[in-house]
Structure 1
């Protein structure tokens, strides 16, 4: 199955969590500026618990995705460092494993942040045609992260 990423701003992201566009005036981002600087910040904490910051190197897209993970104990924020990233997402009805037919993929540009609700299936983020670093924020847990095979998968992820 082929899944093509679309700009995250082009979908109703609320089924997965919260979308922030840090470069635009939106209802969930505050802006300020002064001589020689401009600043933006979320108008509430990024995730709903104290979180740790992670830094990951994702493989290049296009690629095949055969497994996904979810977190039942935390939201997870994903944001790129300086180059766009792509991530596959799914909310499956039985929630035991992601289903290929439920997967959507989004393209996240620098200045955009997504916060995934607890239980949303996702893969690691991928760079465009090359490996790319990205940040994530989530609450640490003693439970190991479990990567689960995609029912009806793998999927071919493109942008």
Structure 2
């Protein structure tokens, strides 16, 4: 069986624009604003996070190591993924117009607590995974009852992500 192995890299170390947007909500980025009070520091996005009304979701992702056989994509919405208190891995592939994700396009990134990514429409992705343990994370996207986002096999697959 063919298995492509992909090393995880920090999301902050790459230009994420081909996939979407990256925010560092702990330290701020050029697309955020910071307010400091006597007992708090607030970091917020300057622009709306996604370009439509969004639903909030909460997911428990399994721990690494993990093999990814399938991915999904959303052609009708962007999707924001929020790293909370434990680091998480996101496995994604550029949506190059193919009807399935290509193993050669798959990349894996680690997000640290306070980091957020917003995936462009059409970017293939797996559920996020935890480092050494399962991980909870929030996501935001527009859910529509008339749209079913199916999980599609990676070609050729699977892809194994490692740290």
User: Above 0.5 in TM-score?
Assistant: yes
Runs of 4+, deviation exceeding 6 Å? none
| C-alpha distance in 2 between matches for 1:25 and 1:133 | 22
- Residue 92 of structure 1 deviates from its aligned partner by 4.5
Q: Deviations over 1:4-43 (max 9, x none)?
A: 1100011110000000011224210100111111110000
Counterparts of residues 122-137 of structure 1 (less than 5 Å): 122-137=125-140
Alignment RMSD (CA, Å): 1.0
CA distance in 2, matches of 1:116, 1:61: 22
CA distance in 2, matches of 1:26, 1:94: 31
Separation in 2 of the partners of 1:131 and 1:61? 8
**Runs of at least 5 residues in structure 2 that lack an aligned partner in the other structure:** none
Determine whether 1:81 maps to 2:87.
no
Counterpart secondary structure, 2:17: helix
> What residue in structure 1 maps to residue 155 of structure 2?
151
Partner SS state of residue 30, structure 1: strand
* Farther-moved stretch of structure 1 (101-110 vs 21-30): 21-30
Of 17, 20, 27, the residue aligned with 2:20 is 17
Aligned length in residues = 159
